[in-house]
Amino acid sequence: MLPFFVGRLTQAMAVMVAVALVAFALFTYVGDPINNMVGEQTTRADRDKLRESLGLNDPVPLQFARFVANAAVGNFGISYRLKRPVDELIAERMPATLELVLISALVSLAIGIPLGVYTAIRRHSLISRFILTASLAGVSLPTFIIGIGLIYLFAVHWGVLPSFGRGEVTSLGWWSTGLLTASGLKALILPVTTVSLFQITLILRLVRAEMLEVLRSDYIRFARARGLTNRAINFGHAFKNTLVPVITIAGLNIASLIAFSIIAETVFQWPGMGFLFIQAIEFVDIPIMAAYLVMAALVFVTINLCVDMLYFVIDPRLADDASTLPVQSR
Amino acid sequence: MSGAANDPGSAGAGAIRRLLDHDLVYSFLSSPLTVVAAVVTGVIFIATGLAPWLAPHEPFNPATLSLMDAFTVPAWMDGGTSRYILGTDDLGRDMLSTIMHGARISIIVGFSAVMLGMTLGVGLGVLSGYLGGWFEIVVMRLADIQLTIPGILVALLIDGIARGLLPREQHADLMIYVIILAIGLSDWPQFARVTRSATLVEKRLDYVAAARLTGIGPMTIMIRHILPNVMRPVLVLATVGLALAIIAEATLSFLGVGMPPTTPSLGTLIRVGGDFLYSGEWWITLFPALVLVTLVLAVNLLGDWLRDALDPKLR
């Protein structure tokens, strides 16, 4: 297990270094940071003084080291557009995004896995066929169109759910939550549905495919020959063995939920990090772009690592022989 | 791409002609859904490809626009006219013509982006599979790193960098190239992975050894011998990739960092139309959305069929 863990950790570090290099290059080469900080009237001499005091004349490796040191403590400077420290802006908006992403992940697992198991066990029933056809449509519908459709139906046509914002939020220290008020929960419904629909179809199809594969195997046939109940075979034997690939993909999907949340946040004017990021791209607000990039990469890398570690918990066979790990096949 | 593969007459390259053997034609004709998807795709491609000649109005010529016609409802509703079958938008532009031009841009961007991603990915994939060594390690590590981050995020980032590097007043004119670059660069790793693993298999086969024995250089072996034999999975990936690229373009434009309203794509039209949803002018956003979904669904169905027909193992 240890060599595997070390290998994965090295790869994670490589990703972070690469992302840090991109973020640093953004600061250094895209636009002139001085121009973005001072007014039009600032004299040449003042600009040079500022440049020197910010260390922008230092050798590039030294600047990069300083950038990494600052980034490690969450210091990404001051937003060009909003003129406020980036870490403050992100801390304000992080709870909104995390609540959206985590609840969507839970919802899509809670719906996708049972549907996948059902469509695999009752392969030929009408309901299964209907679910599968609907899921194909789900893959072809772009996220933002789902969002607009939901807004039109539930907010404009029927007027039962809010179309933008988080509703009323309660602050628990530095964390602001929309989970404790009725309007906050109502505001979550449409964005969560928008983000989850696509994930549900993915998880459903994956669980179904894995389940069908396992149900064909010899040990399931043997279990049937032993006269075990269908229930014991389906859940005790088959379902357990589909969990490794399902957890891998589901874990990686949580990472992609963060990307999808950018779209949902824009459609529903959700005051989260994704909305902030899109505005930063529109106005070329480099500090926010860089900070978002580094934070998103950190989340992806952490999730990937956790998923790898989960393999060992779920499948004890792997701990005996690390060389048989599905490293390359992923 | 899908058009060429469906129509035996237009197949030009030898690689494509070899794909059009008996089985492929048979499986195409025996799946009605695929035929429908191919017809729908064909109609949309022709209607949008010939938009400058077929469209009933000139939506981007201010001289032909009249604000008096703004917000005309579709023809089959009370107050609609047969002059504007799908109604008009806030500037009095004919929706049908606007959509035809918009879908044209969406398809052009989708195609070019897939071409870019495919060329880059296949090139790097064949090279790293055939050459191996440090080149393979570097390319595959890069692909791994990029695959850690979702494609749309990579595209957004490239979009943002390009916006920072280009002068602001040229954004509108250059945006189409920026999006093609952003989407193309965001999906090369998939192509590189598939091509590399196919190349690893091919290079151990006898025909490659025979070619090497006759003294042909590695470049020629890669291009003339290995490349045609690894194109099957690449073609499947490219068809599915076209649908994904069209969605990616629409998403970027919808988020406001893609095509500008002066030269709108379907995504831009949906975004602009979304503002009028609350005041009841639903057709301005519904029709572009319908065209986008139909197009993506049809291309996806074609991709599904192609995958089943070319490689039953991939199911």
B300 → closest Cβ in A139, A281, A297: A139
Give A254-308 pLDDT, tens digit per residue: 777 888 889 999 999 899 898 899 988 888 888 898 898 888 888 888 888 888 7
Closest alpha carbon within chain A to B257: A282
Residues of B in contact with A280 (CB under 8 A): 160
What average pLDDT does chain A have?
82
Q: Which of B34, B146, B148, B305 to mutate to test the interface with A (most CBs of A within 10 A)?
A: B148
Contact B150, A202 (CB under 8 A): no
B65/B46: higher pLDDT: B46
Residue-level pLDDT at B274: 83
Give B131-186 pLDDT, tens digit per residue: 988 999 889 888 888 887 888 888 988 888 888 888 877 777 888 999 999 999 99
CA distance B43 to B298: 11
Residues of A in contact with B150 (CB under 8 A): 255-256, 258-259
Give B222-235 pLDDT, tens digit per residue: 888 899 888 888 98
Instruction: Report the complex ipTM.
Output: 0.81
Write the single-letter amino acid at A189.
I
Question: pLDDT-based confidence at B113, cuts 50/70/90?
Answer: very high
Residue-level pLDDT at B115: 96
Residue-level pLDDT at B13: 60
Cβ of residue A299 closer than 8 Å to a chain B Cβ: no
Residue-level pLDDT at B54: 83
Residue-level pLDDT at A107: 93
Residue B215 has pLDDT above 80, yes or no: yes
| The two structure tokens encoding residue B282 | 């639903």
A35/A323: higher pLDDT: A35
The CA distance from B271 to the nearest CA of chain A, in Å, is 9
| Cross-chain Cβ contact B156/A277 below 8 Å | yes
A259 → closest Cβ in B152, B165, B293: B152
Residue A5 has pLDDT above 70, yes or no: yes
| The two structure tokens encoding residue A5 | 């863990």
What average pLDDT does chain B have?
84
| The two structure tokens encoding residue A19 | 């992302």
Residue-level pLDDT at A327: 41
Helix, coil or strand: residue A1: coil
Q: Which of B40, B156, B295 to mutate to test the interface with A (most CBs of A within 10 A)?
A: B156
Contact B257, B156 (CB under 8 A): yes
Residue A328 has pLDDT above 50, yes or no: no
B5/A247: higher pLDDT: A247
| Cross-strand bridge partners of residue A226 | none
Contact A244, A210 (CB under 8 A): no
Closest alpha carbon within chain A to B258: A282
Domain A87-282 sits in CATH at 1.10.3720.10
Question: pLDDT-based confidence at A326, cuts 50/70/90?
Answer: very low
The CA distance from A126 to the nearest CA of chain B, in Å, is 19
Residue B314 has pLDDT above 60, yes or no: no
Sequence-distant (≥ 6) Cβ neighbours of residue B279 within 8 angstroms: none
Residue-level pLDDT at B18: 63
Helix, coil or strand: residue A279: helix
Residue B104 has pLDDT above 90, yes or no: yes
CA distance B274 to A149: 10
The CA distance from B4 to the nearest CA of chain A, in Å, is 22
Least confident range from A135-149, A151-165, A175-189, B70-84: namely B70-84
Residue-level pLDDT at B141: 84
Least confident range from A10-19, B26-35, B157-166: namely B26-35
Residue-level pLDDT at A231: 83
A14 → closest Cβ in B141, B243, B247: B141
Write down the domain spans for chain A: 2-72, 87-282
Torsion sign, CA atoms B64, B65, B66, B71: positive
Closest alpha carbon within chain B to A265: B255
Residue A311 has pLDDT above 70, yes or no: yes
Question: pLDDT-based confidence at B261, cuts 50/70/90?
Answer: confident
| Cross-chain Cβ contact B250/A137 below 8 Å | no
Closest alpha carbon within chain A to B248: A142
Residue-level pLDDT at A39: 67
